[in-house]
Structure 1
Amino acid sequence: MKIKNTALFIFMMTVAFMNAQNVYLSKVEKTKENKDKYFFKIDPTKSDAEYLGEIDVQGFSNDDATIYTSILKKAKEIGANAFSYKPFESVDEKTQPFNPANYQLGLYYITKDELSKPSDVMYFFSSSSKPQTISINKKDYVLQPRSFIAIKGIPGEIYTISTKKFLGSTIKISVNENSQAQYFQISSAKIKSNTYGEPGINLKSGDIMGLDKSFGDFLRMIYTENN
């Protein structure tokens, strides 16, 4: 009996280790004093962003909200309010594809003027573990786990979004001139919402959850876009 219990303990510890994800500041160039709650994805080559440092993420986890929170806390330690993905290069100087178990982020500070750029794009994310079916104005899409689609909206149009499930959610989305991008996750799993106004998940409607831009930008980086 003791041997079985020991073997079970070792197995559980191995699984836990394989699913552990470590987040740490690997480089600090400078710090900024600010209380910004947002944390947006940017292209530093097309921005006047001020470089602050880097974060390394090692290990894989399906709990995207928890990992995002860990990254956000580290970024705020040096006053960052923006990030970009920093791809690794192989020995032959070719850029390696994104690896959700090992990646690096550049941390930046940007002014509020750079955040006011309008966008008419709607992003729809699948769950982290199961495929999801979504209908947008009666057109069906099947999203594989950890993937998303981006729909360019037409100002003034109303979009009907449905999960096509019995007792599933249906919402209507409008796109306005000079509005910000909108982010939604399609999932049957329950995800704990953050306090309104905090970065993370702010809105929830059954199995269609509205996400704030910060968390949406993070998912847009770690998930694969369906073209």
Structure 2
Amino acid sequence: MKIKNIALFIFMMALTCINAQNVYLSKVEKTIENKDKYFYKIDPKNSAAEYLGEIDVQGFSNDDATVFTAIYKKAKEIGANAFSYKPFESVDEKMQPFNPANYRLELYYITKDELSKPSDVIYFFSSSSKPQTISINRKDYVLPARSFTAIKGVSGEIYTVSTKKFLGSTIKISVNENAPAQYFQISAAKIKSNTYGEPGINLKSGDIIGLDKSFGDFLRMIYTENK
């Protein structure tokens, strides 16, 4: 009996190590006094963003909301409100593909004008562990786990989105001129509503969840686009 308990303990410890994740500031170039709540994905080549530092993420976790919260808190320690993915280089100086268990983010500060750029794109994310099927205006989309699809909305049109499940959710989405991008996740049961003023969930309708831009931009980076 004791041997079984020891074996179980070793197994649980190994499982914990596999799922352990470390998020830390690996480089700080500059710190800015900044109290805003934004944290958006940008292309620094097409932006006047000010570089502040870098964050390293090591270890994989399916709990994307918890990972994002840890990254967000570290970024805010130096006043960052924007980020971009920084690929690692291999020995032959080729950029390595994104690895959800080991990646690096560059941190920036950008002005409010750049933060508020409009977009007519609607993003739909699958869950972190299971594939999802959705219908958008009666057209079906099959999204593998940890993937997303994006559609270009037309101003003034209404988009009816359904999860195609028995007793599943159906929502209607409108696209307005000069409005920001919209983000939705399907069956993300592990995500909890955000505290007021912090990034996370804006609304929840059954198994369709509306996300704020900060968390949506993060998922857009770590998930694979399903075109």
Into which bin does the TM-score normalised by the smaller protein fall? over 0.9
Deviates more, 1:184-193 or 1:94-103: 184-193
Alpha-carbon distance in structure 2 between the residues aligned to 1:65 and 1:188: 10
Q: Could you tell me which residue of structure 1 aligns to residue 110 of structure 2? A: 110
SS of residue paired to 1:159: strand
Alpha-carbon distance in structure 1 between the residues aligned to 2:119 and 2:218: 17
Q: Could you tell me which residue of structure 2 aligns to residue 61 of structure 1? A: 61
1:113-124 equivalences under 5 Å are 113-124=113-124
Question: Is 1:161 aligned to residue 173 of structure 2?
Answer: no
Does the Cα contact within 8 Å between 2:123 and 2:184 map onto a contact in 1? yes
Alpha-carbon distance in structure 1 between the residues aligned to 2:144 and 2:167: 22
Alpha-carbon deviation of 1:188?
Answer: 5.8
Runs of 4+ residues deviating >6 angstroms = none
Q: Letter of the aligned partner of 1:2 in structure 2?
A: K
1:1-227 equivalences under 5 Å are 1-187=1-187, 189-227=189-227
Alpha-carbon distance in structure 2 between the residues aligned to 1:114 and 1:88: 27
SS of residue paired to 1:164: coil
| 1:128–1:159 CA distance, 2 compared to 1 (3 A) | same
Over the matched positions of the two proteins, sequence identity in percent amounts to 86
Q: TM-score, normalised by structure 1?
A: 0.98
Alpha-carbon distance in structure 2 between the residues aligned to 1:190 and 1:61: 12
In structure 1, runs of 5+ residues without a counterpart are none
Alpha-carbon deviation of 1:190?
Answer: 4.4
Alpha-carbon deviation of 1:201?
Answer: 1.6
SS of residue paired to 1:18: helix
What is the number of residues matched between the two proteins?
Answer: 227
SS of residue paired to 2:164: coil
Alpha-carbon distance in structure 2 between the residues aligned to 1:198 and 1:206: 22
Alpha-carbon deviation of 1:189?
Answer: 2.3
Alpha-carbon distance in structure 2 between the residues aligned to 1:126 and 1:97: 21
Q: TM-score, normalised by structure 2?
A: 0.98
Alpha-carbon deviation of 1:116?
Answer: 1.8
What does the per-residue CA deviation read over 1:18-68, in whole Å, with 9 as the maximum and x for residues that have no partner?
011100000000000010101000000000000000000000000000000
Alpha-carbon deviation of 1:197?
Answer: 2.9
Does the Cα contact within 8 Å between 1:195 and 1:202 map onto a contact in 2? no
Alpha-carbon deviation of 1:195?
Answer: 1.9
